[in-house]
Chains A and B, each alone.
Chain A
Amino acid sequence: MRWAPLEVDLLNGLAALAKAPGKRYLVSPPGVDGRVAVAALLATEARAFHEIELDVAKRHLRLIEEQLAKLAEDFEFDRAGRGTPSYLPGAGTTIERMARLRADVDKYSHALIALDQHQQDLVDAALAVFELRPRADLDVLKARPDEGVVVELCNDGWSMAGSRSERLRQRRQLLGLAADTDWSDRA
């Protein structure tokens, strides 16, 4: 049986694994017992994940906008005097990146709205196809030869970090941004 340890974006991960062939088992993390507790964990993690992704996308977007403003050297005018910034090299790929980040902002914003409105339904749908098993069964399930997947939920991914600023710090490191980049929790 295939083992699928999930740390981040648990709800979407479960939704993707719900299509796996064969039996589907779900093992909760240590200290989280029972369907209600697992549902609460999924809801909390999903919110934290989308909030922090949205936050990171917005901050990243702002950084790129500042970068882009520095890249504009002058204005280019069309025949009738309509001006567009004449960008220095680097702007082409930066603009594309900015467009993708804007799409990310939309995506995460909509996901948060969906969570607000349909949280219970989403969690129920994710859990519907999985059989919840105690943590003690994990190794046994992993060792089974039949087709299927055993999902282990882990509650130590970066989206589970204790505070927002800690999550941001971890994300900043992942993004390879300088430590002095202002990604404090003020924004």
Chain B
Amino acid sequence: MNTVATPALRTTAGAAPVPAAPEVDTGADVSTPPIDSVATDGGVPSTAADFARASADVGSVVNSPLFARSAEPPKPVDPALYQSILDEAQSADWRDCGIDPKRYIEERISTDKVLDPLRADPDKKIVLHRGALKLSQAGFVDSSRCQPMFHESPRDYPGAVYWQPQDHNFHMIGIVGEDWYRQTLHMLAIEGIPQSQILVEGSDRIDQILAKELGPTLDANNFDSVTVGTIGELTQGLERVLADRGRPAYAVKVFGQMQALLDQQIAKAKPDKLPRWQERKARLDQIAARTGDATERMKLIQADPVLTGPFGELLKAYRDGPPFNELPWTVTNLRRPLFSQRIIEVEGKKHLILHVGGAHGDLAHAAVEYALKRQPSITRVNVFGSAGSFSNDLPPDTVVLPQGSVASAESDRPPVAIDNKAVIPGATPTRHTNVSTLLREHRAGLECMKSVAETIDMEGYHVAAAAAEADHPVELRAVFRISDVATASDLGAHRADRGATSDYDKRRLVDEQVAAMFFLDQTGV
């Protein structure tokens, strides 16, 4: 584990700067170099001739001008960076930790198709194409001849490996951003792949990707807030809150439908059945006269066996609540290769939700920073996701609110002071930290992280940093739900009964509370 350095402090609006924490010696002697020195600069061909040459070299047929292929051949992986990761991997002790590194890697990179062949033949190499989301965007690759070698169902990992027969090398695409890149290097290091077999091609090009994927959204909408989080959970939570709010009005509507149904039946009833319908109408009128509260009316109807028969379906409709298309909101989905977006308009305000998955936290920084720069009227930034804890006292499903500052286990990421404005009843305030990959959560790493924090995640730090770096005051609301205990194998990420430990009702309630706070400015739901 490297040192947790604490250079300059960044603060979110209203947060007092936190004093620098003492540097923690984690026992390793090689520090991870700063991000800037890690990134390779593949260069984007600037002229049509460059582009044609780069494409011709690899027999390309399709190339987007945005993702013009690199003209520079792959370079060896940064030796200092990879050596530090190798050292960490070789000394890591995983006993009693929440993560099983072998299993973690097996779930993301195919052992049979990729790792074993690499180990068996030192002449084979794996080329990491940084910034290539598609094979056709990777430099020096003939996409028409490559054979897929990627995992059939990788867990939250975008890296896809192809075998190119011409150069007898593996080529990996999809690992945009620093965190995914570092995670990939950690996986290769743990699997014992030497530095000589790893090449890096291209650069991140995140700014270009953001301009293409997020720029048009920001140009076309004025947002009140930007949220990084799980799109599905937040949307469902808000949907339920709105449905609950709309229930009294829906009761009035259903009661009107009942009256209309009886009028209709009376109008067309045969003489022998007419008295029955008239009796029902009389009963309904009596209920209407007895109370003006539509919800109470529904209870009275439910208790009357003469009415429950004909109104069975309407009573079930009332029980189900207002249907989705009658809720007072609009939802727009924008599927994009890297930053899937959802725009929610409710109560006259628009909110942008960005889906940024687990192990690519630094992309959250880039996206939020881009949004805040491009649209300074955004004054609220939210983050809602899952986190790990360092204590059995913070078991799965616990809701935590980072307080004070957010640290990082990465030496090039200074702590960020925060003034977390999130309010969730019963939530636990915690000291929070960041890591680029779970593969740093071995015993030494955890000891280091436990000294500065109680909870950990990947994107929270980056969202807080982007908010702190904004040119205008930005309110931060950060909420996390514990998914695993990093320091306990029985409550960890690879525990056998993960599903059984989850409290469905509590999870649902938290989704609603968070959505109401983020999008309706309502706390204590």
Q: Is the interface of A mostly helix, strand, loop or mixed?
A: mixed
Q: With the chains together, A176 CA to B320 CA distance in Å?
A: 15
Choice from B303, B321, B325 contacting A96 with Cβ under 8 Å: B321
Shortest Cβ-Cβ A-B pairs, 10 listed: A80-B493, A92-B239, A77-B156, A13-B305, A92-B236, A81-B155, A8-B309, A86-B232, A78-B386, A78-B483
Q: Is the CB of A77 within 8 A of B358?
A: yes
Q: Which residues of B contact A154 (CB under 8 A)?
A: 276
Task: List the A residue with the shortest CB-CB distance to B342.
Answer: A89
Given A16-B303, A79-B493, A81-B358, A86 and B230 contact (CB-CB distance below 8 Å): yes
Report chain A residues within 8 Å CB of B418: none
Q: Is A9 an interface residue (CB 8 A)?
A: yes
Chain A residues proximal to chain B, CB less than 8 Å: 3-9, 12-14, 16-17, 73-97, 100, 154, 156-157, 174-176
CB nearest to B306 among chain A residues: A4
A91 to B342, CA, bound (A): 15
Q: Chain B's interface: helix, strand, loop or mixed, by majority?
A: mixed
A-B contact pairs, 5 of them (CB 8 A): A73-B335, A79-B388, A90-B324, A93-B320, A96-B240
Output the least CB separation between A73 and chain B (Å).
Answer: 7
Residues of A within 8 Å of B240, CB to CB, are 92-93, 96
Q: Which chain A positions have C-beta within 8 A of B321?
A: 93, 96
What 1/0 flags go to B189-232 for Cβ under 8 Å of A?
A: 00000000000000000000000000000000000000000111
Known: A9-B309, A80-B484. 20 other contacts (CB 8 A): A7-B276, A7-B309, A8-B308, A77-B155, A79-B385, A79-B387, A80-B99, A80-B438, A80-B493, A81-B107, A82-B493, A82-B498, A84-B232, A84-B233, A89-B235, A89-B333, A90-B325, A91-B232, A92-B243, A93-B239
Pairwise interchain contact B306-A76, C-beta atoms closer than 8 A: no
**Separation in Å of the B101 CB from the closest CB of chain A?**
12
- Check if B159 is an interface residue, CB within 8 A of chain A: no
Whole-angstrom CA separation of A178 from B320 in the bound complex? 20
**A9 B232 Cβ-Cβ under 8 A:** no
Smallest Cβ distance from B351 to chain A, in angstroms?
13
- The reply to whether B313 and A174 contact each other, CB–CB distance below 8 Å, is yes
Question: A157: which B residues are within 8 A, CB to CB?
Answer: 309
A6 x B305 contact (CB < 8 A): yes
B residues within 8 A CB of A74? 340
Tell me whether A12 and B99 are in contact (CB under 8 A): no
Which residues on the B side are within 8 Å of A17 (C-beta)? 305
Alpha-carbon distance A5/B283, docked complex (angstroms) = 12
